[in-house]
Amino acid sequence: MSSGNLPKVVIIGGGFGGLNAAQKLAKLPVDVTVIDRKNHHTFQPLLYQVATAGLSPGEIAAPIRGVLKENNRMHVLMGEVVSFDLERKSLKLRDGSGISYDYLILAAGTTHSYFGHDEWEPLAPGLKEVEDATEIRRRILLAYELGERRAAVTGKAEPVHFVIVGGGPTGVELAGAIAEIARHTIAKDFDWIDPRQSRILLIEGGPRVLPAYPEDLSRSAERQLRNLGVDVMDNARVTSIEPGLVRVGEQAFPSTVTLWAAGVAASPLGRALGVPTDRTGRVQVNGDLSVPGHPEVFVVGDLATLLDKKTGKQLPGLAPVAIQEGRHVAKVIAQDLRKAPREEFRYLDKGTLATIGRAAAVADLGEKLHFSGFPAWFLWLFVHLMYLVGFRNRLLVFIEWAWAYLTYERSARLITGSTQLPGWTQQQNLHESNEPSVEQEHENETHAAD
């Protein structure tokens, strides 16, 4: 800690935006502190592969401290920011300590939103952090283990039902990966149940999955999903999530495992700034990514909202946007330091990719360049390996993928933590008569109202 009187830049969040800002700032005469609630950067585009047992958490996460140890002007603090005082240029951590700054870069991203139904969260976990991924993995694998045990004892095999709410990239990826697990990875691993009988239902509120993509690619994605054995339901709004059950209006779908990929809300830190935000809590930033009235405060990544100079549309919540914004803020600070005028941010759209499963993906590389299937999937693999943080992670993920491609195996089929599933008893009630089962005596669940 001997940075003397260098300008002090505080970055909140070690995701794509924060990390890229920090890496660029490392080259400037500034003192940088990155604050994150976690000790690690999570490579979110591959998080669904941890949730579906394809990769281990350690392969897609990297300690922020390890990534940023370039020089002694870079500091990392694990802590939770709770409030700001923009006038005094300071912020407060949950533990009460205060931290001051000359520049503030807020890159706190988003959290799940259950559209006012927070009671759905324990029944339908979403996917944002490593802990979410291992919890989802636990539920997917446990559903089969409990099904096998029940069938072994009762002689009655029942299909495992998955309901994924939300047809954006995460929902599509989860549905595709679960289908692959059921139809291939564990297809022959059980004796009393047949995983190939699993039902996988993807529910999308709008007219098509991947709504941010061109329509032809959405249709292609739906076709590819159906080929994998996923039922896709468009224009369907979930009205209730109960243990073992998802309701869409009058229709009730049995659900052994329900996953939430529908709603995203801005980090509450956006509103805590006290500057204008949009309806979802994202901060409306100036062209240079600073907030109105505070040129020393920037917001980047999913937490910022800004119109694309080129298309006039809102910039999407994607990793490339966050990366470019983070780097842009470092550039603006460099311009400040040498008293040059600030440049406006321009997003360079290199295209977007979404994967569905083995050899199944869609690619949107501009108006004329849409493609899907194997070439899109191959490009997706390549791009994600390239962007993955750390050479070691890249090497391990490459080996895992090559191995999985050749064997259909998934490496990280671990159930850790609780051995209970919400709705396990209730789901049974839905299908069977009301005779008490062996599970009902012991599983610690309340009974469904019906």
Closest separation between CB of residue 268 and its own copies, Å? 18
Closest separation between CB of residue 370 and its own copies, Å? 36
- Closer to its own copies by CB, 187 or 430: give it: 187
List residues bridging with 297 in a β-sheet.
104
Report strand pairing: 283-284 vs 304-305: parallel
Q: How many CB atoms lie within 10 A of CB 365?
A: 15
Q: Is residue 221 a contact partner of residue 372, using CB atoms and an 8 Å limit?
A: yes
Closest separation between CB of residue 254 and its own copies, Å? 21
Helices H, strands E: what count in the chain?
13, 25
Given the residues 59, 129, 173, 204, select the one marked as catalytic.
173
Closest separation between CB of residue 158 and its own copies, Å? 15
Token pair of 268, please? 């509450």
Closest separation between CB of residue 8 and its own copies, Å? 12
Q: Token pair 């029942």 is at which residue?
A: 158
Residue ranges in contact with its own copies by CB under 8 A: 1, 37-40, 55-59, 61, 63, 65-66, 69, 72, 75-80, 93-97, 99, 130-131, 134, 141-142, 145-146, 148-149, 152-153, 186, 188-192, 392, 395-396, 399-400, 403, 409, 411-417, 419, 438-439, 441-443
Q: How many CB atoms lie within 10 A of CB 376?
A: 26
In 202-246, which residue ranges form alpha helices assigned H by DSSP?
A: 215-227
Q: Token pair 């922020």 is at which residue?
A: 64
Distance separating alpha carbons of residues 284 and 270, to the nearest angstrom: 10
Distance separating alpha carbons of residues 341 and 431, to the nearest angstrom: 68
Q: What phi, psi does 12 have (nearest 5°)?
A: -105, 110
Residue 435 is a catalytic residue: no
Q: Is residue 204 a contact partner of residue 171, using CB atoms and an 8 Å limit?
A: yes
The CA-atom distances, in angstroms, between 424 and each of 165, 256, 285 are: 19, 7, 46
Distance separating alpha carbons of residues 156 and 351, to the nearest angstrom: 49
Closest separation between CB of residue 69 and its own copies, Å? 6
Active-site residue list:
173
